[in-house]
Amino acid sequence: MTQKTPTSLPVAVGFGFIACLLYGFNGGTRTNMGILLAPLMEHSHSSYAQVSFVFAVMNLVFGAVQPLMGMLALRTSNRFVMSMGVVLIFCSLAALLVSTLFPLLMMSLGGLYAIGSGAVAFGLVLASATYFVGPERAMLVAGMLNAAAGLGSFVLAPVMQSFIDANGLTGVAGAMLVPVALLLPIAWVVTSRDPKRVAGVHSTPIRWGEVARHRVFVFLFLGFSTCGFHMVIIESHLFNEFVKDGIPAQQASWAFSLYGIATITGALLSGWLSTRMSMGRLLVYYYGFRAVWTLAFLFIMPHTVPFAVLFAIGLGMTGDATVSPTAGLVNRYLPLSWAPTLIGLLLLIHQVGAFFSASLGGVLLDWSESYVPVWLIDVVLCVFAAIMSAMIGRGTATVVRASQ
């Protein structure tokens, strides 16, 4: 760690906004890909099922490459990997302009875009942010980064739709090339205080046996493995559950919008709390609240518009809140140079849980004609995650040094 004295709060916040431009644009673009579904079908002469399959591949590749990009950064640098990611995203958007066949679409989004987006993922950006602002301010920036992904999605959705309305897919893909190109110098600013590499000398390789035996990482891994399952129930099934309960679609969409705003608020608050409270205890509160709140909605709250809004806001406040303390504990106990790979591994298991949630929710709905079974599975997993998080504070955890 090259940062010896704490960075002032204004400098940390200013840097945080710069980092948020990089991470927020990447995350916001990826989560809004659904807006492009119909234009992509028309442009690539592909079916709904084919474009949906491209999106599924894109998300799986995005999750799978994150730990690989972390390992590549160990061999090269965060700057190299993030710059490569920006270039790949630029190339993918340029390729979309000529992707008039399904194989080209798969190459553009399932290949170039997914790999590029995974190279500008949370772990790498946070590691460079920690080098820049120091560990004292890192969780503040982590909260800002989490909020930026949601805010980026909120801001970019109408912008992308306006370009689609004006000029279709070519309009939105062409328009996005300029801001993506501007992300390259931003990536250089974000990585400007990374440790200087000596030619021919690489960072200490990850000692996987030591990681696998480290009690904090094991409990984090087990707890965070449930998080994707929970989040995708909300993203894939909650809106339809509100409508199934008799809530008009327009009002259900407003409840869902408030969920997004609450997610941003919760992410910022969690980043701030992670600098002032035990991060393991915060995770216990977040996971435990999810279980209790879900049971209250299923068996106590009337399924009316006001309570749908209340439920959505409660879920949003803890939606992305787990990321900051999870990343903070990785940074505290394990070498910072390992963090992009290890956080990427946590996000990969998050994506695996998301896959099972999305698919199991539909299967259980067909079987039971109710969302209650999948929510009850989620409650059990949240309780499990809370127990795993409580174990983090028990016993003594060693701080691993890269040079050990």
Does the structure show a pLDDT above 60 at 3?
no
Higher-confidence residue of 291 and 156: namely 291
Q: Tell me how far apart the alpha carbons of residues 296 and 301 are, in angstroms, rounded to a whole number.
A: 6
Which residue has 């705003």 as its token pair? Answer: 261
Query: What pLDDT does residue 376 have?
Result: 94
Cα 240 from chain centroid (whole Å): 23
Cα 134 from chain centroid (whole Å): 22
Name the 3-class secondary structure at 214: coil
For the record, the structure tokens of 67 come out as 């730990």
Does the structure show a pLDDT above 70 at 260?
yes
What average pLDDT does range 211-222 have in this prediction?
90
Q: What is the pTM of this model?
A: 0.79
Q: How confident is the model at residue 325 (pLDDT cuts 50, 70, 90)?
A: very high
Query: What pLDDT does residue 4 have?
Result: 52
- Contact residues for 279 (Cβ-Cβ < 8 A; gap 6+): 139, 324, 325, 326, 328, 329, 332
What average pLDDT does range 80-96 have in this prediction?
95
- Residue 255: how many CA atoms within 13 Å on its side-chain side? 26
Nearest alpha-carbon partner for 189 in 347, 303, 310, 23: 23
Percent of the chain with pLDDT over 90: 39
Identify residue 165 by its one-letter amino acid code: D
Q: Tell me how far apart the alpha carbons of residues 34 and 51 are, in angstroms, rounded to a whole number.
A: 10
Which residue has 């980043």 as its token pair? Answer: 271
What average pLDDT does range 63-69 have in this prediction?
91
Name the 3-class secondary structure at 70: helix
Kind and range of the H or E run holding 38: helix 37-44
Q: Tell me how far apart the alpha carbons of residues 180 and 88 are, in angstroms, rounded to a whole number.
A: 10
The answer to which of 38-52, 96-110, 373-387 has the lowest mean pLDDT is 38-52
List own/partner pairs for 385-389 with CB under 8 A and 24 or more apart: 385/222, 385/223, 385/224, 385/226, 385/227, 385/283, 385/287, 386/223, 386/283, 386/284, 386/287, 386/288, 386/291, 388/219, 388/220, 388/222, 388/223, 389/219, 389/223, 389/280, 389/281, 389/283, 389/284, 389/287
Does the structure show a pLDDT above 90 at 88?
yes
Nearest alpha-carbon partner for 204 in 74, 398, 399, 78: 74
Q: How confident is the model at residue 2 (pLDDT cuts 50, 70, 90)?
A: very low
Identify residue 138 by its one-letter amino acid code: A
pLDDT digits (tens, 9 = 90+) for 152-203: 877 887 888 888 888 888 888 999 999 999 999 999 999 999 987 655 455 6
Domains of the chain: 9-190 (1.20.1250.20), 208-392 (1.20.1250.20)
Q: Tell me how far apart the alpha carbons of residues 156 and 243 are, in angstroms, rounded to a whole number.
A: 26
Query: What pLDDT does residue 5 have?
Result: 64
Which residue has 């290949």 as its token pair? Answer: 111
Q: Tell me how far apart the alpha carbons of residues 136 and 114 are, in angstroms, rounded to a whole number.
A: 32
What average pLDDT does range 219-234 have in this prediction?
87
Q: How confident is the model at residue 319 (pLDDT cuts 50, 70, 90)?
A: confident
- Contact residues for 166 (Cβ-Cβ < 8 A; gap 6+): none
Q: How confident is the model at residue 402 (pLDDT cuts 50, 70, 90)?
A: low
Higher-confidence residue of 34 and 101: namely 101
Does the structure show a pLDDT above 60 at 353?
yes
Q: How confident is the model at residue 368 (pLDDT cuts 50, 70, 90)?
A: confident
> How high is the mean pLDDT of the chain?
86
* Greatest C-alpha distance within the chain: 64
Query: What pLDDT does residue 19 have?
Result: 94
